[in-house]
Amino acid sequence: MKGQELDAWLASMVSLLQPKEVVWVHGGEEEHQKVLQALVKEGVATPLNEKLRPNSFLFRSDPRDVARVESRTYICSDTQEEAGPTNHWMAPAEMKEKLLPLFKGVMQGRTLYVIPFAMGPLSSPFVKCGIQLSDSFYVVANMALMTHVGDKVLAKIKESSFVPCVHSVGAKGSDAKWPCDPEHLVVAHFPREREIWSYGSGYGGNALLGKKCLALRIASVLAKDEGWLAEHMLIVGITNPEGEKKYFLGSFPSACGKTNLALLTADLPGWKVETVGDDIAWIRPGKDGRLYAVNPEAGFFGVAPGTSWQSNPKAMETIARDTLFTNVALTSDNDVWWEGMGVVPKQPVINWLGETWDGKSKAAQPNSRFTVSIKRCPTVDPAWDSPEGVPISGILFGGRRSSRVPLVMESQDWTQGVLYGAALSSETTAAAEGAVGQLRHDPFAMLPFCGYHMGDYFAHWLSFAKLPNLPKIYVVNWFQKDSEGDYLWPGFGANTRVMKWIFERSKGEHEGKKTAVGLLPQEEEIDVKGLSLKEGAMKQLLAFDKDGWKEEAAELQNYFKRFGSHFPSALTMELDKWAKQ
């Protein structure tokens, strides 16, 4: 929508939503502090121990509103064909008919917050702006950390355009601390109109509309039209002991390790890791034929459980202050706690539901999260908000695979690498509703986030093949298990060892061993000095399971049938090689 249309749009939305007042978000630290204090006063936020965790707050959601709801997320393109087989679809007019009664008068007695926000550095030619209308003060507090908000963005919008984002937690008239309406929840995207409407949830990707809704689902459609890529990827800078620096992208499904790799603490002497982004990358070809990536976000909305001083010290440092926590447990000294934090909590512990913890059930909700500005990261990359982005030397695809998929392998060319992305599958996590631990296809970790036909999306990726300076593409898997169900690979800091091999491969080092599915490292090429690994672990981690891959190929051939004529024949041919090896 054009900037000049803003006033008329807002007036029409106010008459639809019927709030008791309209409050603009201007941005800035002073306003952010006022928002937090008001949330405390309303009893929505609990201030944490000022000495242990300064300027940090705990929120508890309604227990029915704890994760993204993929089953109620819609792509409302003109035709179902455009949305493709991986998205829920409804015709735009039909969806509007469904939405209008839900939104009509929903904000009666509530404040409507108007949040002008920018995804990407404001000075970047690639920035995309939105205006989120919301009746959630919690959303206001989160958006201030996750995006650039306020008057500067509004000024930009006025001279350009914005994506209208209408959000309500629903439950008209409810005086609950965390109102929501799970029964009628709907997150609707209109790719042609470039609009987002979200009703019924105040949590994460359902409610912070700049993130998955704009920066991935709507942006993926813009990217296809304009010749770039909007991806569910981390961006990390790695410097070797000789001082050479390279940037990498990593695509992992939700709760499969992006934040952890983005904030990796190198466990090898002389290696340095810096963070550009932990969830989303906008990637464009530069004039030199290389790919450049920008992080459209300004903060982390990271998974709390599993984060510890052992596994991810940089994340622990990042969230040491100025952080919002949602659905974690509260210790008796007013600090936060979660499973896998690696410390014993001060008892009694109050669990995420606000009850005294029984010591047996989960104290923190498995998808409990922290929200924090990227500027709090001790090793934020100096180029994290570079308007042009950072040049990319390698792209990683990884999922949770307990067997078959090796620790790392390298594609022989772009087409095989695109097949790595298309073939990605992973065991499901708590980041979305539904069962956990079930293997599902999640192409490019974009299954819940691609705003158009996934077959066309594969073709769009292939269309970059002609660029002269493409990065190499890798599969990684930190999650192989042994026969006792234990992880074979220590993961976390030890992933430095895999990044080292990838880094050195991009300089032409290491020979590896060729297979039909890609190049695997020879055992001695991975530096495992100082790691405590089970006997034979590396052999298993780097094994090429030929029969397993044939089976994988057959299963993929079957899966890809759903994309029909949209499925690129180049991928069919590549996959044939895997099946017939």
Shortest reach from residue 474's CB to ligand GTP, in Å: 15
Q: Note whether 400 and 476 are within 8 A (CB).
A: no
Q: Does 398 sit near ligand SPV (CB under 6 A)? A: no
Shortest reach from residue 116's CB to ligand GTP, in Å: 25
Give yes or no for a cis peptide into 348 (omega within 30° of 0): yes
**Of 265-284, which residues contact ligand SPV (CB under 6 A)?**
279
Q: Does 212 sit near ligand SPV (CB under 6 A)? A: yes
| Tokens coding 236 | 């990390």
| Tokens coding 436 | 């956990």
The closest of 45, 20, 208 to 119, measured between CA atoms, is 208
C-beta of 141 vs 520, nearer to ligand SPV: 141
Q: Does 259 sit near ligand SPV (CB under 6 A)? A: no
Q: Does 205 sit near ligand SPV (CB under 6 A)? A: yes
Count of C-beta atoms within a 10 Å radius of residue 101: 10
Q: What amino acid occupies position 285?
A: P
C-beta of 76 vs 430, nearer to ligand SPV: 430
Q: Does 431 sit near ligand SPV (CB under 6 A)? A: yes
Q: What amino acid occupies position 67?
A: A
Shortest reach from residue 522's CB to ligand GTP, in Å: 22
Q: Does 211 sit near ligand SPV (CB under 6 A)? A: yes
Q: What amino acid occupies position 119?
A: M
Burial classification of residue 559, based on how many CB atoms lie within 10 Å of its CB (0-12 exposed, 13-18 middle, 19 or more buried)? middle
Q: Does 204 sit near ligand SPV (CB under 6 A)? A: yes
Q: Provide the binding-site residues for ligand GTP, judged by CB under 6 A.
A: 252, 254-260, 278-279, 302-303, 305-306, 311, 431, 478, 487, 491-492, 495
- Chain length of the chain: 581
Q: Which does 464 bind (CB under 5 to 8 A by kind): Mn ion, ligand SPV, ligand GTP, none?
A: none
* Local structure of residue 466 (DSSP, 8 states): G
Q: Does 301 sit near ligand SPV (CB under 6 A)? A: yes
Q: Does 334 sit near ligand SPV (CB under 6 A)? A: no
Taking CB positions, which residue lies at the least distance from Mn ion?
A: 279
First to last CA, the chain: 52
C-beta of 254 vs 327, nearer to ligand SPV: 254
Q: How far is CA 509 from CA 278, 474, 477, in A?
A: 28, 15, 21
Maximum distance among all Cα pairs of the chain, rounded to whole angstroms: 68
213 assigned to active site: no
The b-or-e profile of 238-260 (16+ CB within 10 A means b, else e) is bbbeeeebbbbbbbbbbbbbbbb
If residue 495 lies in a helix (H) or strand (E), which one and from where to where? helix 495-505
Shortest reach from residue 436's CB to ligand SPV, in Å: 13
Q: Does 217 sit near ligand SPV (CB under 6 A)? A: no
Shortest reach from residue 427's CB to Mn ion, in Å: 16
Q: Phi, psi (5° rounding) for residue 319?
A: -95, 20
Q: Which does 212 bind (CB under 5 to 8 A by kind): ligand GTP, ligand SPV, Mn ion, none?
A: ligand SPV
Site string for ligand SPV, 39-78 (x = CB under 6 A): -----------------------------x----------
Shortest reach from residue 495's CB to ligand SPV, in Å: 19
Which range touches ligand SPV (CB under 6 A), out of 203-211, 310-318, 481-489, 521-529?
203-211
Q: Provide the binding-site residues for Mn ion, judged by CB under 5 A.
A: 254, 279
The closest of 377, 358, 407 to 537, measured between CA atoms, is 407
C-beta of 254 vs 334, nearer to ligand GTP: 254
Shortest reach from residue 308's CB to ligand GTP, in Å: 8
Catalytic residue among 129, 165, 256, 377: 256
| Tokens coding 397 | 């695809």
C-beta of 205 vs 455, nearer to ligand SPV: 205
Q: Note whether 165 and 217 are within 8 A (CB).
A: no
- Helix/strand/coil for 310: coil
Q: Note whether 351 and 334 are within 8 A (CB).
A: no
Shortest reach from residue 465's CB to ligand GTP, in Å: 27
Could you give the CA distance from residue 163 to residue 118 in angstroms, rounded to a whole number? 10
At a CB cut-off of 8 Å and minimum separation 6, what does 35 contact?
137, 140, 141, 144
Sign, CA dihedral 81-84-85-88, equals negative
Q: Does 493 sit near ligand SPV (CB under 6 A)? A: no
The closest of 272, 232, 285 to 445, measured between CA atoms, is 232
C-beta of 153 vs 255, nearer to ligand SPV: 255
The structure tokens 């941005």 sit at 27
C-beta of 188 vs 446, nearer to Mn ion: 446
Among 61, 86, 254, 425, binds ligand SPV (CB under 6 A): 254
Q: Which does 205 bind (CB under 5 to 8 A by kind): Mn ion, ligand GTP, ligand SPV, none?
A: ligand SPV
At a CB cut-off of 8 Å and minimum separation 6, what does 101 contact?
none
Q: Which does 182 bind (CB under 5 to 8 A by kind): ligand SPV, ligand GTP, Mn ion, none?
A: none
- Helix/strand/coil for 377: coil
Q: Which does 211 bind (CB under 5 to 8 A by kind): Mn ion, ligand GTP, ligand SPV, none?
A: ligand SPV
C-beta of 133 vs 218, nearer to Mn ion: 218
Q: What amino acid occupies position 301?
A: F
Which residues are known catalytic residues?
Answer: 256
Interface with ligand SPV (CB under 6 A):
68, 204-205, 211-212, 254, 279, 301, 431
